Amino acid sequence: MTTNKAISRPEPDNPYALIGSSPLMKQVYRLISKVLHSDANILLTGETGTGKELVARAIHEYGHRRTQPFVVQNCASLPDGLLESELFGYKKGAFTGADRHHQGMFDAANNGILFLDEIGDLPLTLQAKLLRVLQEQEVRPLGDTQYHKINVRVIAATHRNLEAMVALGEFRSDLYYRLAHFPIELPALRDRGDDIQKLAVSFLDESARREGRTGLHLSAAAEKALQSYDFPGNVRELKSMIERAILLADDTEIIERSHFPNIPETNTFSVGSASPHGGVLKELVDRFERQLLIDSLKKYRGNQQNTADALGVARRTLLYKLSKYNINSRDWRG
Ligand SMILES: Nc1ncnc2c1ncn2[C@@H]1O[C@H](COP(=O)(O)OP(=O)(O)OP(=O)(O)O)[C@@H](O)[C@H]1O
Ligand SMILES: [Mg+2]
């Protein structure tokens, strides 16, 4: 993070270094501008790959806590006991193996921001503890007898439907209301119109620079195909697709339609119209499978073997599926 960037005025078209100027993104920028200088907790929702973590980082970089820590904790990646000691810390001797004092994430984020990713995966016992911390702004490390004050702004994120989880009794309603004090929903890429084109060009430039290539551009047919694709993996998927297309187009400057082999020929999805896939079993199953793969990769920090083991498939099956869904396991290596 550079302080320069943090104090410069956001560009009107590309505020907070986020790309996109569709009406839905402009609404997101308006919401960000309202919370930037407050201490309200924020709940970021939206499908996988829509930019929740990027927005959380932007709120830190451009907000009044920018010189203070930004700490990330993924609530899905640790077993319950470990997550508790990561969040709240522990005293030496608190349990077998606690041979030294360990600072928790809330203390590490003091005066700054704690980004709680995958908050929908927080177990109910820890939900109660988190609620108390948010209400009282104080924590008690495991093995400690005393609570101590902290000053932490929490930004939580999830791709799950927390309201539905509340209705099912899987998520505490009191915690939900406290976190959802200021909700920001990140739109799906397929609903962002021309942003697809803007993001594609930006990723193309970025990858071309990295690969030392010049003059790369998209053919009209390639642009049209991107515009018509429904991007279940959203911006992350678009980025992976562009990176792969550049590798495939190693003997030409023009990125063609054929360099996006995962876009089905029959894909006639168009922004603004109802999805032609709605209710089609294969589409729903694919979406579910994609989300499961992403959740597992996140949990095992991009480790393919552990992910394959957890899903009970051979590594080559996992690789095949990652390629089918344009998922890059490197995106989750911490
Ligand atoms: N508006 C944007 N401008 C530029 N890059 C973006 C934008 N939105 C997302 N990205 C890029 O897309 C990728 C995914 O974004 P991010 O990790 O923030 O998504 P997410 O919503 O947290 O996904 P998940 O739910 O899977 O954790 C990142 O590489 C990010 O930099
Ligand atoms: Mg994320």
- The token pair at 305 is 């073997």
- The token pair at 138 is 């104080």
Where on the phi/psi map is residue 122: left (φ > 0), alpha (ψ -120 to 50), or beta? beta
What pLDDT is recorded for position 155? 97
Ligand closest to 295 (CA) is 1
Task: Please indicate whether residue 53, judged by its CB atom, sits closer than 6 Å to ligand 1.
Answer: yes
What domains can be seen in the chain, in order of their start residue?
Answer: 3-187 (3.40.50.300), 190-259 (1.10.8.60), 281-332 (1.10.10)
Distance CA 253, CA 216 (A): 5
pLDDT, tens digit, for every residue of 38-79? 999 999 999 999 999 999 999 999 999 999 999 999 998 888
**Mean pLDDT across the chain:** 90
- Please check the confidence at residue 9 and state whether its pLDDT lies above 60: no
Considering only CA atoms, which residue is closest to atom 18 of ligand 1? 51
What pLDDT is recorded for position 284? 86
pTM of the predicted structure, to 2 decimals: 0.85
Ligand closest to 234 (CA) is 1
Q: Are 156 and 119 in contact (CB under 8 A)?
A: yes
pLDDT, tens digit, for every residue of 213-272? 888 999 999 999 999 999 999 999 999 999 999 999 999 999 999 999 989 876 544 444
Residue with token string 């360990």: 102
Considering only CA atoms, which residue is closest to atom 29 of ligand 1? 236
Q: State which ligand 1 atom lies nearest to the alpha carbon of 294.
A: 26
Considering only CA atoms, which residue is closest to atom 15 of ligand 1? 51
Task: Please indicate whether residue 190, judged by its CB atom, sits closer than 6 Å to ligand 1.
Answer: no
- Please classify residue 87 by burial: count the beta carbons closer than 10 Å to its beta carbon, then call 0-12 exposed, 13-18 middle and 19+ buried: buried
